[in-house]
């Protein structure tokens, strides 16, 4: 089994790279999706969040009111740490389960947005960074996602710098150009991953 950490700044195009790698045969473990799953209604994760933050973070239907919780944790570093202390171990546990289920010959790609920020590179056999210039990221966030520019800049500033991400990269995918330039690069990365894994996974 080859364990790959995949990361990139917001707006760099990481989701499309993950989708392509999955289509080639990688087993994708999406940390963001798992983070949502572990606090769904009825889960111990949601119960722990409510115990920590109070019932005010619940919506009328009993689910997590993400905007309310976000307003609390993004305004207070200590409250954000408290939330991470609940969610991160649950995400790690579920990620490990999915990894084990993938089988011994799998190439498992862990899509981890905060891989650099949380010092997680040593957990993986190698790290792939999806890279784009900050100006490109900003343009995509404003033009494609409809973010206001101050919000986009704040989200970017809250993440690791481009230099910090590149410093931990074993392989870099340059996604500064148009979408049609991306696929050949991702396919080449997949070839290298298969070579590293012994050529036994995927097509």
pLDDT at 199: 57
pLDDT at 177: 87
> Comparing C-alpha atoms, which of 75, 74, 114 is closest to residue 92?
114
List, for the chain, all residue ranges whose pLDDT scores fall below the cut of 50: 200-203
pLDDT at 20: 96
Distance between CA 13 and CA 111 in Å, rounded? 12
What is the distance, to the nearest Å, from the Cα of residue 78 to the centroid of all Cα atoms in its chain? 22
Q: Which residue segments constitute the domains of the chain, with CATH numbers given?
A: 1-26+106-203 (3.40.50.300), 33-103 (3.40.50.300)
Cα dihedral angle (135, 71, 14, 100), rounded to 10 degrees? 160
Question: What would the pLDDT profile of 19-42 be if each residue is shown by its tens digit?
Answer: 999 999 999 999 889 999 999 999
Cβ neighbors of 109 (< 8 A, separation 6 or more) are: 4, 6, 18, 21, 22, 26, 27, 28, 29, 128
> If you ran DSSP here, which 8-state letter would residue 56 be given?
G
């Amino acid at each position: 089994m080859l364990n790959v950490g995949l990361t990139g700044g917001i707006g760099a195009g990481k989701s499309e790279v993950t989708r392509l790698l999955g289509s080639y045969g990688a087993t994708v473990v999406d940390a963001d999706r798992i983070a949502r799953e572990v606090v769904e209604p009825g889960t111990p994760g949601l119960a722990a969040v409510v115990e920590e933050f109070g019932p005010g973070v619940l919506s009328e239907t009993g689910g997590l009111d993400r905007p309310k919780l976000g307003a609390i944790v993004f305004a207070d570093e200590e409250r954000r740490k408290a939330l991470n202390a609940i969610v991160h171990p649950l995400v790690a546990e579920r990620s490990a389960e999915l990894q084990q289920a993938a089988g011994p010959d799998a190439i498992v790609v862990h899509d981890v947005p905060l891989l650099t920020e949380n010092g997680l590179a040593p957990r993986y056999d190698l790290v792939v960074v999806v890279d784009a210039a900050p100006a490109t990221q900003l343009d995509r966030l404003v033009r494609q996602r409809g973010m206001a520019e101050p919000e986009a800049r704040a989200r970017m500033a809250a993440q690791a710098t481009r230099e910090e991400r590149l410093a931990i990269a074993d392989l870099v995918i340059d996604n500064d150009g148009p979408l049609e330039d991306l696929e050949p690069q991702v396919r080449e990365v997949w070839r290298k991953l298969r070579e590293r894994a012994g050529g036994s996974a995927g097509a």
